[in-house]
Chain A
Amino acid sequence: MAHYLLSVHSVAGEIREPMTDDEMKESFRQIGILEAEMKSSHSLVLSGRLHEPDTATVVRISNGEVLTTDGPFAESKEHLGGFYIIEADNLDAALAWATKVSKTIKRPIEVWPFVDVRS
């Protein structure tokens, strides 16, 4: 078994066609079904959706002092919008989950393996 991060990237300022209330409800329903499936197969470790990048704060130690600044750390247009941490046998199993997530939320998914801390 290994752990994978399935990350959902958002692009700042990107205009997506707004969903109607019904579409929104349907989308949440489908995400609910998918997450229930992940849980019942003991694949889901943690999932979360993040606020916009301008809500992020960076803490760093500079010359021994704590320096707190407005975030995010990486000045890029793309940012992490949400994620799943899953457990899977191998990459193909992780990609199968990524496919389901991508179909549900209609966004590309990046699949990252975690370093196995035991090794």
Chain B
Amino acid sequence: MFGADVHPDGSAAFLVGEAAVSRIFREEYGRSVASLIRAFGDIDAAEDAVQEAFAVALRKWPGDGLPPNPGGWITTTARNVAIDRQRREARGRELLREVAVLLPQKDDPGTAKEVGAVEDDRLRLIFTCCHPALSTEAQVALTLRLLGGLSTEEVARSFVVAEATMAQRIVRAKRKIKAARIPYRIPELHELPGRLRPVLAVVYLLYNAGPASPAEPDLRREAIRLARVLSTLMPNEPEVAGLLALLLLTESRRASRSRPDGSLVLLGEQDRTRWDRALIEEGQAIVRRYRRHGPPGPYMLQAAINAVHADAATVQQTDWSQIVALYDQLFAVSPTPVVALNRAIAIGEVQGPAAALPLVDELDLGDYYPFHATRADLLWRLGRADEAAAAYERAAALAPTKAERDFLKLGGRADVIKEAGR
């Protein structure tokens, strides 16, 4: 982050460059903004003060060295900036009353109730950002902006929209929070299922923003960081842990998941020695820890499926019947055609392609290219080469990237490509 170095006067000191400050900015922004919103009841005032505090840091730290607790320093400085501004502004006191909507109410149980041992304003903030009264687009944008500390321009780039469009989206969302008085509170237990769902969905969406986004590595890192924060703050919510485990296990395969040209490597063809064992162990430990926490939800089930894959040294050694059983459970709680498709693929591994094909054929997924790729694969294995070729054609026509299209046109599997090349 920053290197210990020797000063010209001979004393050891930390050299703090702009890069270090911006890294600290990314890490501490959400915590500071969340704490300032709680103190001052206004998002814009909090953001302005925290940004000002970082501007002060950029001036001071390179000369003075890094304070022992940079995050705490930023929050304290921002708090002083905000108080100064309020004093200076004649209407400060009046304004404070108006914006007091975001200040926790005395009788609000979300205020009194501490979240486990850790009380963190970031939890309030993410529930405000992901309030179901906001559109999913607004939820994602606000979460990245306020918790992730991304600039509006960075958020816009992440989702491939114009900066002006994104700026307007964020302004509108903040306006709605103020006008409709979306509160700054942790939902009560009975509200939690409905309120947690969009929070987890936003984090999952960030991770999967995908190769279409130039900020993809940042978004993946940010999603995992947020999932970690959430699972620390809500240790008793198995689905929060499930989401973190799912992201860690998915991330463990990242290096082997795509070719240099960006095309996808199927699970069965990945070089498993390149899987990240540390991430796998962390993810699997979470799955094991929550095994007896009652019926698992969709994130935990997907994590469990990935944990089984991670256990197998080769695709042939995969415990497919366990995977089928997990997909049965997943389909019971989340009966979507995509889950049904993956369940059919697993059944194909246990009972063979003849059992899987009719399950695939009955799905209404004509616009989803993995559906055609799966059909193609099953048809190929059944020796129905012409039909397989036609299905690969359809998959290729729907695939999102050129690398993907070329790959599917060649038969969608490395072994098929090899055969075609003979």
Q: A residues near B, CB below 8 A?
A: 2, 89-92, 95, 111, 113, 115-116, 118-119
Q: Does B151 contact A (CB under 8 A)?
A: no
**Are A92 and B105 within 8 A (Cβ)?**
no
Task: A111 to B185: give the CA distance in the assembly, Å.
Answer: 20
Distance (Å) between the CB of B132 and the closest chain A CB?
Answer: 9
User: Contact check: which of A2, A89, A95, A116 meets B133 at CB < 8 Å?
Assistant: A95
Interface size grouping (class) on chain B: 10 to 19
Task: A90 to B185: give the CA distance in the assembly, Å.
Answer: 11
**Are A91 and B98 within 8 A (Cβ)?**
no
The segment out of B176-184, B339-347, B378-386 that lies at the interface is B176-184
Q: Which of B321-374 contact A (CB under 8 A)?
A: none
Q: Does B101 contact A (CB under 8 A)?
A: yes
**Are B185 and A92 within 8 A (Cβ)?**
yes
Check A113/B98 contact, CB under 8 A, given A89-B105, A91-B133, A95-B133: no
Please give me the residue from chain A that is nearest to B95 by CB atom. A119
Q: A90-B182, A113-B180 are in contact. List 17 more A-B contacts (CB 8 A).
A: A2-B101, A2-B181, A89-B108, A89-B183, A90-B101, A90-B105, A90-B183, A91-B131, A91-B183, A92-B182, A92-B183, A92-B185, A92-B187, A95-B133, A111-B180, A113-B179, A116-B98
Task: A116 to B187: give the CA distance in the assembly, Å.
Answer: 25
Q: Mark B130-146, 1 if CB is under 8 A from A, else 0.
A: 01010000000000000
Distance (Å) between the CB of B141 and the closest chain A CB?
Answer: 19
Which residues does chain A contribute within 8 Å of B191, judged by CB atoms?
92
How many CB-defined contacts (below 8 Å) exist between A and B? 31
Which residues does chain A contribute within 8 Å of B180, judged by CB atoms?
91, 111, 113
Task: A118 to B191: give the CA distance in the assembly, Å.
Answer: 32
Q: Which of B71-128 contact A (CB under 8 A)?
A: 98, 101, 105, 108
Which residues does chain B contribute within 8 Å of A116, judged by CB atoms?
98
Check A119/B105 contact, CB under 8 A, given A90-B181, A91-B133, A113-B180: no
Which residues does chain B contribute within 8 Å of A111, judged by CB atoms?
180
Distance (Å) between the CB of B309 and the closest chain A CB?
Answer: 40
Task: A2 to B105: give the CA distance in the assembly, Å.
Answer: 13
Distance (Å) between the CB of B149 and the closest chain A CB?
Answer: 26
Which 9 A-B pairs have CB atoms at the shortest separation, nearest pair first?
A: A90-B183, A90-B181, A113-B180, A91-B180, A91-B182, A2-B181, A113-B179, A91-B181, A92-B183
Q: Which of B260-308 contact A (CB under 8 A)?
A: none
Please give me the residue from chain B that is nearest to A96 by CB atom. B191
Which residues does chain A contribute within 8 Å of B98, judged by CB atoms?
116, 118-119
Q: Mark B157-176, 1 if CB is under 8 A from A, else 0.
A: 00000000000000000000
Which residues does chain A contribute within 8 Å of B105, judged by CB atoms?
89-90
Which residues does chain A contribute within 8 Å of B179, judged by CB atoms?
113, 115
Which residues does chain B contribute within 8 Å of A95, judged by CB atoms?
133
Distance (Å) between the CB of A43 and the closest chain B CB?
Answer: 14
Which residues does chain B contribute within 8 Å of A89, judged by CB atoms?
105, 108, 181, 183
Which residues does chain A contribute within 8 Å of B131, judged by CB atoms?
91
Distance (Å) between the CB of A110 and the closest chain B CB?
Answer: 11
9 contacts between A and B (CB under 8 A): A2-B181, A90-B105, A90-B181, A91-B133, A91-B180, A111-B180, A113-B179, A116-B98, A119-B98
Which residues does chain B contribute within 8 Å of A118, judged by CB atoms?
98
Which residues does chain A contribute within 8 Å of B181, judged by CB atoms?
2, 89-91, 113
Distance (Å) between the CB of A95 and the closest chain B CB?
Answer: 7
Task: A74 to B182: give the CA distance in the assembly, Å.
Answer: 30
